[in-house]
């Protein structure tokens, strides 16, 4: 019975992954392109964990991030890209 449960769970996860990939491809083709990335809490800011986690849904933060991305793209478009 455990083998069957494990097989079903693995199939469900695979189906979810395939669905997520198809959904992303569709959204990129039909809508505006987007990126997702992981941002870790900076070292030394562990005491601000709650505030850090709230940034994900903070409209002001997201607006600032959007402005930063626009500035970076304009910067790169002008050929002024920094080398890290």
Mind listing the pLDDT tens digit for each residue in 1-37?
777 677 667 767 778 888 888 888 888 788 888 888 8
Q: Check pLDDT > 70 for residue 82.
A: no
As a whole number of angstroms, the distance between CA 55 and CA 42 comes to: 13
For 1, the domain range is 1-34
The answer to whether residue 84 scores a pLDDT higher than 60 is: no
Q: Are residues 52 and 21 part of one domain?
A: no
Same domain (yes/no): 26, 49: no
Structural domain count of the chain = 2
Q: What is the distance between the alpha carbons of residues 58 and 42, in angstroms, rounded to a whole number?
A: 18
pLDDT in tens, 52-72: 999 999 999 999 999 999 999
- On whether both 16 and 45 belong to a single domain, the answer is no
The three-state (H, E, C) secondary structure of the chain, written as one string:
CHHHHHHHHHHHHHHHHHHHHHHHHHHHHHCCCCCCCCCCCCCCCHHHHHHHHHHHHCHHHHHHHHHHHHHHHHHHHCCCCCCC
pTM of the model as a whole: 0.59
The share of the chain scoring above pLDDT 90, in percent, equals 46
Q: Are residues 28 and 55 in the same domain?
A: no
């Amino acid at each position: 019975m455990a083998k069957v449960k494990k097989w079903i769970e693995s199939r469900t996860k695979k189906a979810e992954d395939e669905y997520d990939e198809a959904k992303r491809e569709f959204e990129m083709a039909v809508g505006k392109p987007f990126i997702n990335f992981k941002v870790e809490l900076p070292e030394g800011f562990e005491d601000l964990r709650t505030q850090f986690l709230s940034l994900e849904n903070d409209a002001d933060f997201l607006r600032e991030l959007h402005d930063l991305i626009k500035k970076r793209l304009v910067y790169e478009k002008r050929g002024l890209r920094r080398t890290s």
